[in-house]
Structure 1
Amino acid sequence: MKIQCRFFASVREALGASFEEIELPPEVTTVAAVRAYLRQRGGVWDEVLSDKNLLRTAYNQQMCAADTVLTEQCEVAFFPPVTGG
């Protein structure tokens, strides 16, 4: 399955990428599994996407839970918590 991954703010800066199209293996079926799959790249990917880092996720531009199931050509986004005032 192919998906679109987007990275925002400090995640984008650390990874040096804002967008990537990824071909996933069949066992990667949820947003959490995408995060784990990308962490396997090691180095900065493992550090930035580590479970110790509080990150927000969106599926097709809607906030989502880690267990959200993926569909072909969906968009998954990772970004740090946002504050404002």
Structure 2
Amino acid sequence: MSLKLVFLGRLEDVAGHGEIALDIAGPLTLSEIAERLEPQLAVAISAANVRIALNGSLVSPGGWTAGNGDELAFLPPVSGG
């Protein structure tokens, strides 16, 4: 089973990749996913201003799980003008 993580903007720089595939045994919460990542990346994706999309739909930081075949995209705040 596999879960796809997508990192956009500055989070891609922190991750070192635009995407990571996690091998999973079952559905995971955000905190369980963060535990499997490098500490610096775990902190970055857990920031209050990072939005999360599960299979293309924005979700709140808690109250969901991601499982086999799901895609989680982490969206940092945008800046510019």
- TM-score norm. by structure 2 comes to 0.72
Structure 1: segments with no counterpart, 5+ residues:
none
- TM-score, normalised with respect to structure 1: 0.69
RMSD: 2.4
Question: Alignment length, in residue pairs?
Answer: 79
Q: Give the structure 2 partner of residue 60 of structure 1.
A: 55
Aligned-pair identity (%): 19
* Structure 2 residue runs without a partner (length 5+): none
User: Which residue number corresponds to residue 9 of structure 2?
Assistant: 9
Can you list the C-alpha shifts for 1:13-72, whole angstroms capped at 9, x where unaligned? 1121110111224362xxxx2x3234324432233134x442100011121223233242
Structure 1 runs of 4+ aligned residues shifted over 4 Å read: none
Q: Which amino acid is 2:26 matched to?
A: P
| 1:69 has 2:58 as partner | no
Amino acid at match of 2:66: L
Per-residue deviation, 1:76: 0.5
Q: How many angstroms does 1:84 deviate by?
A: 6.6
